[in-house]
């Protein structure tokens, strides 16, 4: 009985954060599971899908759809840039047979935040296509209003901005998505959202949930409600800016253009001659700080600093100080250090 109460309370609060009056389900999975759920619950083999990708997580979304038999066209942007809305419009105009558009809200591999509201304006407002969103590192950190903007499915995961351990994924599902579900013939079992809906009506999950993470989620949602979602967005905006300004003051270059820079993760280029693996190892062993490197083609070339959830400006200042101390050992004299 205690779990039932918690599941119902948590589900209502999740809807507030997603900005939807539609459905939101809790899955025991990582974020990729929720991406797969978005695909298999709405599409059929052979459906034409446009995947607007700006990095490796965008590519992953297209890959999932392709593996389940969708006919995927990739619309890629140069590394570090966001989705070009004019090109998206052009692609949708050029071929009217697309059933859905897949897009990443916040591309964690390059630190790029897409202008999802404008993207949704084109996909939904101008072309009326199904819109599936990877919001894994954005929901509850960056502004997103699923219903107002017209996002049919939005996927996210507990270990990103939700301040939680990994183990749960959350997914919103619109009426339009349910219509697509009724026609969809992709194979699905564990992620069939019809089961989650049926069981939620009796206050249960269809399969064994990660109960421990649910308790944490219940607390996190209370904290989010106490802080207020707009204050939380403002705090992320502040810390994103604080991180970028601090890095630039050290003479480092941010990967994306300022306008497309994410407020949940910052990717920064390594200065010429500095190996990111050596820097990451030194930050960890000498300062107890964990930052991430680049993925795939960005391996060795960038580091990524996370500042979502409860990260504080004091913690980011520690990272900046550690960079100022460590970079000279690796052959780069930071601007701030030169000033003294």
Ligand X SMILES: *Cc1c(COP(=O)(O)O)cnc(C)c1O
Q: Calculate ∠ Cα 308-131-202, nearest 5°.
A: 80
CB of 327 to ligand X, least distance (A): 27
Question: Which one, 55 or 334, has the nearer CB to ligand X?
Answer: 55
CA distances to 100, 101, 130, 283, 321 from 177, rounded to whole Å, are 10, 13, 7, 45, 47
Determine whether 307 is exposed, middle or buried from the number of CB atoms within 10 Å of its CB (0-12, 13-18, 19+).
buried
Question: Which one, 51 or 322, has the nearer CB to ligand X?
Answer: 51
Question: Which one, 19 or 58, has the nearer CB to ligand X?
Answer: 58
Determine whether 257 is exposed, middle or buried from the number of CB atoms within 10 Å of its CB (0-12, 13-18, 19+).
exposed
Give dist(CA 229, CA 216) in Å, integer.
18
Question: Which one, 82 or 104, has the nearer CB to ligand X?
Answer: 104
Question: Which one, 57 or 332, has the nearer CB to ligand X?
Answer: 57
The closest residue (CB) to ligand X is 31
Contacts with ligand X by CB under 6 A lie at 30-32, 57, 104, 106, 108, 134, 136-137, 157, 160
Question: Which one, 18 or 57, has the nearer CB to ligand X?
Answer: 57
CB of 77 to ligand X, least distance (A): 15
CA distances to 105, 126, 140, 324 from 118, rounded to whole Å, are 11, 11, 19, 38
The DSSP result for 156-211, as a single string, is: EETTSTT---SSEEEEEE-HHHHHHHHH--S--STT-HHHHHHHHTTT--SS---H
CB of 170 to ligand X, least distance (A): 11
Give dist(CA 89, CA 87) in Å, integer.
5
CB of 131 to ligand X, least distance (A): 16
CB of 136 to ligand X, least distance (A): 4
The three-class DSSP label of residue 247 is: helix
CB of 60 to ligand X, least distance (A): 6
């Amino acid at each position: 009985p205690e779990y039932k109460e918690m599941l119902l309370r948590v589900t209502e609060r999740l809807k507030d954060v997603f900005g939807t009056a539609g459905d939101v389900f809790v899955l025991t999975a990582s974020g990729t599971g929720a991406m797969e759920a978005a695909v298999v619950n709405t599409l059929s083999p052979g459906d034409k899908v446009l995947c607007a990708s700006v990095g490796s997580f965008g590519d992953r979304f297209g890959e999932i759809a392709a593996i389940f038999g969708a006919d995927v066209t990739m619309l890629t942007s140069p590394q570090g840039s966001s989705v070009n809305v004019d090109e998206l419009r052009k692609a949708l105009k050029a071929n009217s047979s697309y059933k859905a558009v897949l897009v990443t809200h916040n591309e964690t591999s390059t630190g790029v935040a897409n202008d999802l509201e404008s993207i949704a304006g084109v996909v939904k407002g101008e072309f009326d296509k199904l819109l599936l969103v990877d919001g894994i590192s954005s929901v509850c950190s960056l502004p997103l209003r699923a219903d107002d903007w017209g996002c049919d499915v939005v996927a996210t995961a507990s270990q990103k901005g939700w301040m939680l351990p990994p183990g749960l994924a959350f997914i919103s599902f619109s009426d339009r998505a349910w219509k697509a579900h009724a026609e969809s013939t992709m194979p699905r079992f564990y992620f069939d959202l019809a089961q989650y809906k049926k069981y939620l009506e009796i206050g249960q999950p269809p399969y064994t949930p990660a109960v421990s993470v649910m308790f944490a989620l219940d607390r996190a949602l209370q904290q989010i409600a106490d802080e207020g979602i707009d204050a939380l967005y403002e705090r992320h905006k502040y810390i994103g800016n604080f991180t970028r300004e601090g890095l630039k003051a050290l003479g480092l270059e941010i990967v994306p253009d300022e306008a497309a820079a994410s407020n949940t993760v910052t990717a920064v280029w390594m200065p010429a001659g500095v190996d990111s693996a050596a820097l990451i190892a030194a930050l960890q062993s000498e300062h107890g700080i964990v930052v991430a490197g680049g993925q795939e083609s960005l391996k060795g070339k960038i580091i990524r600093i996370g500042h979502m959830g409860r990260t504080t400006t004091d913690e980011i200042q520690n990272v900046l100080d550690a960079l100022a101390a460590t970079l000279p050992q690796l052959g780069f004299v930071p601007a701030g250090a030169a000033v003294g």
